[in-house]
Amino acid sequence: MAGKVFFSVSMSLDGFIAPEPVPDDSVLFAPDKQNDPDVRRWTAQWTQLQQWAFPLRFFRENLRLGEGGEEGRDNDIARETFERTGASVMGKRMFDLGAQAWPERAPFHTPVFVVTHTERDPWERPGGTIFHFVNDGVEHALDQARAAAGDRDVRIAGGGETILEHLNAGLVDEFTITLSPVLLGAGTRLFDKVDASRIDLEPLRSEPSSRVTHLTYAVRRR
């Protein structure tokens, strides 16, 4: 039996899933650009948005940051999200940024299908992550991810445009928003161009913790 297609993202209280982009986002993780004011602003806001995850035991284990870390429901949700995922789909921009920031053992440990216009051979990383580059659209990338995932789920990893493209095409079964108690003021809004006329949402769970609130919805097509 095929699994579900889902996404899970952190979101600020004012509706942003990423800070306002810097003029040239290729410099975000360049060592010689870390004192650039735009890079410092982006990094500080992104860190605020994701701060809930950094202390978690699972986060530290998955990135090999050492022993220890917090347990509890936030940690359980992070681990459950990882364990249900048999393959991921992401956009080229997310891949380009992540390739600069991820450790050698990229944190997916499953096949990842990158939607791109660039032809490229698969890129295998230690630990089981293999990036495949798909040149003929999100539906073909999703078909390949489903086949690779088997009876596990496919996660649409991001970025926002790739998630929205799957959502508007009726390809998403459910999603989780982790609502962080921060205000960014500007940035990437996930739902700005959503086709609301085609989508109904069914609340499945609302799980508050001491840091964030996890909101999970099933997606129904109208």
pLDDT of 23 reads 82
- The CATH number that applies at residue 68 is 3.40.430.10
Phi, psi at residue 56, to the nearest 5°?
-70, 145
pLDDT band, very low/low/confident/very high, at 1 (cuts 50, 70, 90): low
Identify the pLDDT of residue 170.
95
The Cα–Cα gap between 213 and 68 comes to 23
For residue 33, the enclosing domain spans 5-221
- Give dist(CA 211, CA 218) in Å, integer: 24
Q: What burial class does residue 185 get, using C-beta atoms within 10 Å of its C-beta: 0-12 exposed, 13-18 middle, 19+ buried?
A: exposed
User: What per-residue confidence (pLDDT) applies to 30?
Assistant: 83
**Alpha carbon distance 86, 154 (integer Å):** 6
CB proximity list for 91: less than 8 A, separation 6 or greater: 114, 115, 116, 158, 159, 161, 162
pTM of the model: 0.94
Residue type, 62: N
Angle between helices 138-149 and 160-168 (to 10 degrees): 90
C-alpha gyration radius of the chain: 17
* Summary mean pLDDT of the chain: 94
- Please write the tens of the pLDDT for every residue from 168-216: 999 999 999 999 999 999 999 999 999 999 999 999 999 999 999 999 9
H or E element that contains 106:
none
Total domains in the fold of the chain = 1
CA distance readout (Å), 36 to 25, 28, 30, 52? 12, 9, 10, 25
pLDDT digits (tens, 9 = 90+) for 96-114: 999 988 989 999 999 999 9
